[in-house]
Amino acid sequence: MITKIPPMGPENRSVVALVYDNLCVFEFAVAAELFGLERPELGVDWYDFQVVSVDGRPSATLGGLTVQAPHDLDLIPSAGTVIVPGWRDRSQPPPAAVVEALVAAHRNGARLVSICSGVFALAATGLLDGKAATTHWRYVDELREQYPRIDVQPDILYVDNGSLLTSAGSAAGIDLGLHLIRRDYGSDIANEVARRMVVPAHRDGGQAQFIPQPVAIGEDSSIGSTLDWALEQLADPLTVKSLARHAQMSERTFARRFAQSTGTTPHRWLTRHRVERARELLESSSLGIDQIADQAGLGSAANLRHHFERELRTTPSHYRRSFQK
């Protein structure tokens, strides 16, 4: 029997987003949509979303709007999560008061989160030195040049260092936000938020920690129905032969049409979804690693660890600890 681990939410539910002159509106809206929208239908204590002005005055945004934030920097040190939704000037460090507030929040246990160019504000604190981080691909070289002590990762959607989290281009902030919700409340809640936003709960972003890699299904109904069937049989020893038999095709025809529909091979597709199944079980159950490997169709704990580390760049045990309170 699977014992569910109840979603408790973060210990400190306060989420603070910064606003500033030349505010990146989309990035700010991502933070507000994910953490500021009330979601009573989920049946959990949701985040307490607040907005803080960097400059202590109304902020002009890109596009000509003006934002009046109700709070100033004094709110940041007590926050549970601080979000920097982009930054106005990558060539200039943020004001000293902003850096001090971010450092104080981190010292008090807050998670610092950046979207797109917001990483430049986090980098100015020195907290990312010696750690991995990412940003929009256009800013990768600039970030490396200005902050050579940061291990800049150019090919992934986001990086989670526990209390320091950075995302790539603007929409990657959605991926990172859903990841945080998944950490705080579990997969079911994160999937429901993604469904409400009409976005995928997981997006293909390379072999990065916590980012599963589902593959879009094309218009081939035979392939689609077989993949639906395969997802119900992941614990079984599926082969190209058994998949082709279900699709009523020859193995050669099936492999060709599978690649056309999914952009990958049957073996690669199965491995990705088995790792995804293992990831879900690690989050939501108290099953042992051997049991999870068996239920995910990965055979053994050693095989699970191998594929999990290759796909997600972390170990199953470390991943599970991220979801335990």
Q: Dump pLDDT digits (tens) for 249-301.
A: 999 998 888 887 777 788 888 988 898 889 888 888 889 999 999 999 999 99
- pLDDT surpasses 70 at 175: yes
Domains annotated for the chain, with CATH where assigned, are 14-197 (3.40.50.880), 212-325 (1.10.10.60)
- The pLDDT, as a whole number, for residue 111 is 97
* Identity of the residue numbered 27: E
pLDDT of residue 272: 85
**Structure confidence by residue, pLDDT tens digits, 75-121:** 999 999 999 999 999 988 899 999 999 999 999 999 999 999 999 99
- Can you tell me the distance from the alpha carbon of 294 to that of 105, in angstroms, rounded to the nearest whole number? 42
Angle (CA) 223 227 232, round 5°? 155
Nearest to 176 by CA among 23, 35, 20: 35
246: exposed, middle or buried (Cβ count in 10 Å: 0-12, 13-18, 19+):
middle
**Other beta carbons within 10 Å of 78:** 13
Residue 107: predicted pLDDT: 96
Q: Which of 291, 180, 325 is nearest to 316 (CA)?
A: 291
Rounded to an integer, what distance in angstroms lies between the CA atom of residue 131 and that of residue 133? 7
Rounded Cα–Cα distance for residues 15 and 37 (Å): 12
Contacts of 273 (CB under 8 A, 6+ apart): 214, 230, 231, 234
Do 83 and 115 touch, CB atoms closer than 8 A?
yes
Overall pTM > 0.85: no
What per-residue confidence (pLDDT) applies to 257?
A: 86
